C-alpha cells in the first residue's frame, strides 16, 4: 500500500511524518527551531531550517526501512508569510527567514496608506494593511544589500525555498509557490491568481525575483538524486492554516476550524466565490486543486487572526513562572473556581482581527490582593477563548449562516480546561480531530489526492474525530466575563 510523507514547517518546529492511505501514522520525527527576536525584528536561520528538513527526511527514510520504497508522494505545509532570499544557481541562502511575526514594515505601510490609501490593496488581496504579510518583508530584503550582485537571486516564502532545495540546487530546481501561500504576500491578486504589477510597484519588488504560481496539488516535481526519498514526487504545497482546514475535512461552505498555535487562526471555507468580508476579516485562497481533479478546484477562505495565544501561555511559563510546564495548565487553572476579577488581554504581538494594530501590547487587569496564579492562568485561557469567539461571530455575519460547530487543533487543545472555556464562551460544540497535527494531515491528504491515491470523498472519510466538547451552564456567567473583557479592551485601546 502506498505511503505519503508530509513535511510540516512550523514556526517553532519542523516535523516529518509518514502516513498510510487510511490516515495512520507509520513514522514521525521532529525538531525544534529557534526564533531570534530583537524589538520588532523576528528572524530565523533559513539555512539551518533547510538542513534540518533534509536530516529529518533522512531519519524518516531510515525509520521506514524497506517500506520507504512504497512512498508515493511528499506534501509540504509551512508557516505562511515568512520570507527569505537565496541564489537559484547554488542554493546559497542570502538572508535570514524574516518571520511572519516581524513588524519592521509598519512605517512603510503607513507611508503607502498616506500616499495611496488602502482600498486598492484590500480589494485586490483580501488582506488588511499589516506588516504581518510578506510584502514589507520582501521590500526590506530588496532595499538591503543582500541581493545586490546576484542576478540569480530568488525571493520567496518558505515553501518555495524547501521545494527548491528538494528539487536539487544546481539542477535548475523549480521555483514555485501555490495560491494559498501567494495570497498571503499582499502582492498577489486573488481574482487574477497572479502577482499584481500595481501592488509590486507600490512595494518596489521586481516581479522577476518571485516564484511561478502552481496549483496546490503540484505536478512534475521530484526529489533530486542523492537526497532522501529521491525520485518521489513533491505533490502538494499549502500554507499551514489552509492545510489544517483541509486536514480536518472542512470541504463544505461554512465549515470552520480553529488552530491554537503561537497565535490563533480561525478559517471558514467560503466556497468558490469571493465573500469580500468586512470588519477586519481576511480573505485568502484556501487551495487550488488541478482542474483535472475536481470541477470546483479553487476554494476561498475567510480568516481571522489572533497574534497571541500559545505565546501567552509561554509567557506565563517563561516570564512569570506561574507554570513550569504546559502539562500544569489545567492543574493551576483548576485551583480556582473562576478568574475572579482578573482579565487577561492577549496581545503581546499586537492585535489582529478586527483591530490590526501593532501598537497594542498585552495587559492584565483586575489584580487584587487575593489574586493567585490560578486566577491569572485561567484569565489567560478566557482571553484567548473570548477573542476566538469574537472572530467566529464576525464570520457568521459574512457567511450569512450560523456556525454551530468548530473543529479545533493546536497546542492549547491539550488543556481540557481551555476546551470547556472555549465551548462555554462561544456556546458552540468544539470537535477535536483524531490526528492532532492537522496541518501535516492536510499536506498528506492533498499529496495523496494529487497523485491519485485518494479523491475528495475518500479523503473526507479518512478524517476522523476523537472528542466533542459541548457547552454547559456554569456557576458563573460567561456573558458577564465577556462583557468585562470587552470593557477592559475598550479602555486598553483608548490608552494605546
d(CA 77, CA 73): 13
Question: Which pLDDT score, from 0 to 100, does residue 415 have?
Answer: 92
Question: Which pLDDT score, from 0 to 100, does residue 309 have?
Answer: 84
Count how many residues are written for the chain.
Answer: 496
> Do the Cβ atoms of 240 and 79 come closer than 8 Å?
yes
**Whole-number Cα distances in Å, 63 to 18, 33, 60:** 10, 22, 5
pLDDT in tens, the chain (496 residues): 799 999 999 988 899 999 999 999 999 999 988 888 888 889 999 999 999 999 999 999 999 999 999 999 999 999 999 999 999 888 899 999 999 988 889 889 999 999 888 899 999 999 988 898 999 999 999 999 889 888 899 999 999 999 999 998 656 678 999 999 999 999 999 999 999 999 999 999 999 999 999 999 987 789 999 999 999 999 999 999 999 999 999 998 889 999 998 889 999 998 888 888 877 899 999 999 987 666 668 999 999 989 888 888 888 898 988 988 888 899 999 999 888 899 999 988 788 888 888 788 888 999 999 999 999 999 999 999 999 999 999 888 877 878 888 899 988 888 999 999 999 988 888 999 988 889 999 999 999 999 999 998 999 999 989 889 888 866 456 788 888 998 888 888 887 6
Alpha carbons within 13 angstroms on the beta-carbon side of residue 436 total 9
Task: Supply the pTM of this predicted model.
Answer: 0.89
d(CA 39, CA 110): 19
Question: Which pLDDT score, from 0 to 100, does residue 475 have?
Answer: 47
Residue 256, C-beta contacts closer than 8 angstroms, at least 6 positions apart = 250, 266, 267, 268, 269, 392, 395, 403, 405, 406, 407
- Would you state the cell numbers that stand for residue 309, as one nine-digit string? 495565544
> Do the Cβ atoms of 3 and 26 come closer than 8 Å?
yes
Write the Ramachandran bin of 117: left for phi over 0, alpha for psi from -120 to 50, otherwise beta. Answer: left
Question: Which pLDDT score, from 0 to 100, does residue 444 have?
Answer: 97
Domains parsed from the chain with CATH numbers: 3-242 (3.30.420.40)
For cell 533530486, what's the residue? 224
Amino acid at each position: 500500500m502506498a505511503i505519503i510523507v508530509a513535511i510540516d514547517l512550523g514556526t517553532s518546529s519542523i516535523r516529518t511524518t509518514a502516513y498510510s492511505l487510511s490516515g495512520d501514522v507509520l513514522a514521525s520525527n521532529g525538531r525544534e527551531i529557534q526564533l531570534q527576536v530583537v524589538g520588532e525584528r523576528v528572524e530565523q536561520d533559513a539555512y539551518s531550517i533547510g538542513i534540518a528538513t533534509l536530516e529529518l527526511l533522512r531519519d524518516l527514510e531510515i525509520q521506514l526501512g524497506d517500506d520507504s520504497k512504497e512512498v508515493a508522494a511528499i506534501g509540504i505545509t509551512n508557516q505562511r508569510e515568512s520570507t527569505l532570499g537565496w541564489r537559484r544557481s547554488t542554493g546559497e541562502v542570502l538572508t535570514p527567514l524574516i518571520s511572519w511575526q516581524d513588524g519592521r514594515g509598519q512605517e512603510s505601510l503607513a507611508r503607502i496608506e498616506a500616499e495611496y490609501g488602502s482600498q486598492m490593496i484590500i480589494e485586490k488581496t483580501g488582506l488588511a494593511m499589516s506588516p504581518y504579510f510578506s510584502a514589507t518583508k520582501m521590500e526590506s530584503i530588496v532595499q538591503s544589500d543582500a541581493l545586490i550582485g546576484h542576478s540569480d537571486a530568488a525571493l520567496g516564502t518558505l515553501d518555495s525555498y524547501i521545494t527548491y532545495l528538494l528539487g536539487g540546487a544546481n539542477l535548475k530546481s523549480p521555483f514555485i509557490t501555490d495560491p494559498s501561500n501567494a495570497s498571503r504576500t499582499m502582492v498577489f491578486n486573488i481574482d487574477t491568481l497572479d502577482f499584481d504589477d500595481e501592488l509590486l510597484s507600490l512595494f518596489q519588488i521586481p516581479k522577476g525575483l518571485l516564484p511561478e504560481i502552481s496549483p496546490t496539488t503540484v505536478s512534475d516535481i521530484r526529489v533530486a538524486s542523492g537526497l532522501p526519498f529521491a525520485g518521489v514526487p513533491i505533490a502538494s504545497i499549502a500554507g499551514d492554516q489552509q492545510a489544517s482546514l483541509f486536514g480536518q475535512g472542512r470541504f463544505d461552505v461554512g465549515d470552520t476550524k480553529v488552530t491554537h498555535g503561537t497565535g490563533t487562526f480561525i478559517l471558514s471555507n467560503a466556497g468558490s466565490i469571493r465573500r469580500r468580508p468586512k470588519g477586519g476579516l481576511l480573505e485568502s485562497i484556501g487551495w487550488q486543486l488541478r482542474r483535472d481533479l475536481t470541477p470546483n478546484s479553487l476554494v476561498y477562505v475567510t480568516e481571522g487572526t489572533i497574534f497571541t495565544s500559545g505565546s501567552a501561555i509561554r509567557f506565563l511559563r517563561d516570564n512569570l513562572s506561574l507554570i513550569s510546564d504546559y502539562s500544569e495548565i489545567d492543574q493551576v487553572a483548576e485551583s480556582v473556581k473562576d478568574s475572579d476579577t482578573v482579565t487577561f488581554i492577549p496581545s503581546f504581538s499586537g492585535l489582529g482581527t478586527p483591530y490590526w494594530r501593532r501598537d497594542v501590547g498585552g495587559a492584565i487587569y483586575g489584580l487584587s490582593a487575593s489574586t493567585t496564579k490560578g486566577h491569572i492562568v485561567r484569565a489567560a485561557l478566557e482571553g484567548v477563548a473570548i477573542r476566538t469567539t469574537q472572530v467566529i461571530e464576525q464570520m457568521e455575519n459574512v457567511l450569512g449562516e450560523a456556525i454551530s460547530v468548530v473543529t479545533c487543533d493546536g497546542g492549547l487543545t491539550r488543556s481540557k480546561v481551555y476546551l470547556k472555556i472555549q465551548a462555554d464562551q462561544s456556546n458552540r460544540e468544539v470537535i477535536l480531530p483524531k490526528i492532532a497535527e492537522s496541518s501535516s494531515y492536510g499536506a498528506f491528504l492533498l499529496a495523496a489526492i494529487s497523485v491519485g491515491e485518494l479523491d475528495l470523498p475518500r479523503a473526507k472519510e479518512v478524517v476522523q474525530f476523537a472528542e466533542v466538547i459541548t457547552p454547559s451552564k456554569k456557576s458563573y456567567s460567561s456573558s458577564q466575563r465577556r462583557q468585562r473583557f470587552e470593557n477592559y479592551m475598550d479602555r486598553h485601546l483608548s490608552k494605546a
